[in-house]
Amino acid sequence: MKTVSPFLEIDPQSDHVLVRFEGQDLSLPLGENLAGALLVAGVMPFRHTPVSGAPRGPFCMMGACFDCLVQIDGMTVQACMLQVTKGLEITMPAARGAADA
């Protein structure tokens, strides 16, 4: 995971909630796009591919590429199609996780 993110908020909002990514506490803006919020928080990669284990992160931000997959509540979901809610427990999908999306 990187610590310095190249992604900046232009008009940061104040209402933040706590979520966890791979066991690490993150304070993210409530209701904002989850993939965007994770990028700003310095999260990268989001997952590793089931085929070669290569690192991946968001590519299209519009729900088409499935490269932003993360695991929440046992389900593999597209981070770019979700909003930040309180207490999300996010992990990287298991190596074969993409299949049950």
Amino acid (1-letter code) at residue 35:
A
**Binding pattern for the stretch 31-70 against another protein, x by CB under 8 A and - elsewhere:** -xx--xx-xx---xxx--x-xx-xxxxxxxxxxxxxx-x-
Where along the sequence are the contacts to ligand FES (CB under 6 A)? 35, 58-61, 63-68, 78, 80
Picked from another protein, ligand FES, none, the partner binding residue 2 (CB below 5 to 8 A depending on kind) is another protein
Picked from ligand FES, another protein, none, the partner binding residue 42 (CB below 5 to 8 A depending on kind) is none
Q: Does residue 17 sit in helix, strand or coil?
A: strand
Least distance in angstroms from the C-beta of 5 to another protein: 9
- 68: nearest Cα among 47, 49, 50: 47
54 and 46 Cβ atoms separated by less than 8 Å? no
The neighbouring-strand residues paired with 24 are 21
Parallel/antiparallel/unpaired status of strands 75-78 and 69-72:
antiparallel
Q: Does residue 99 sit in helix, strand or coil?
A: helix
Nearer to another protein, 11 or 15 (CB): 11
Nearer to another protein, 18 or 64 (CB): 64
Nearer to ligand FES, 12 or 59 (CB): 59
